[in-house]
Amino acid sequence: MFDIFNDAVVASVSTAPTGTHLSFPGACGDFSLENLPLIKSHSFEYDLVTGYEYTVLRFGSEKQEDQNSSTYMLDVFFRRVPDSNDISLYSVEWGEVLSNANTVHEKQSEDLREKGRSMAMCGLMPDSTVEQDGALVLTSTGHAAKCKVTVTLKVASASE
């Protein structure tokens, strides 16, 4: 298996509701981002009591078409036992920003429209970590948010 913390990897994320959150119905929603390239990886905490090391991988991309731009971001926080393959999702944050700058007579106008959405899931409980078809698929559930999060990591191809 590849080393998700050091190899060139891409990530995809998707969510699915596991029930209805009484205070925030529809808070989980169906959300997905696909094939975001790795930007950086770093360890940010070591817990002496549990022995877990916490690492974050940041993925992202930006696309520009004419006057429209799209920015996608995904931060995946892992909990792992050092010197082992035992890893699980701990927290996931993701978002997208869509921008449109209108042009008037081939000149940039001041009219910039932007909209975005983001979501964060903390304190995820690991469900499974499966290797399949050259990819690592991690699934965790946010019981309080009534949401299941799936992150798929794979080695980047030459075109990604």
The tens digit of pLDDT for each residue in 18-38 reads 877 656 655 676 678 899 999
| CA 160 – CA 157 distance, rounded (Å) | 5
CA-CA distances (angstroms) from residue 49 to 23, 46, 86? 34, 9, 17
Cβ contact 137:150 at 8 Å: yes
Q: Which residues contact 141 (CB under 8 A, 6 or more apart)?
A: 18, 124, 125, 127, 147, 148, 149
On the question of pLDDT at 130 being above 50, the answer is yes
| CA 78 – CA 47 distance, rounded (Å) | 13
pLDDT, the chain, mean: 81
Structure confidence by residue, pLDDT tens digits, 39-85: 998 888 888 888 888 889 999 999 888 778 889 999 999 888 777 77
On the question of pLDDT at 106 being above 80, the answer is no
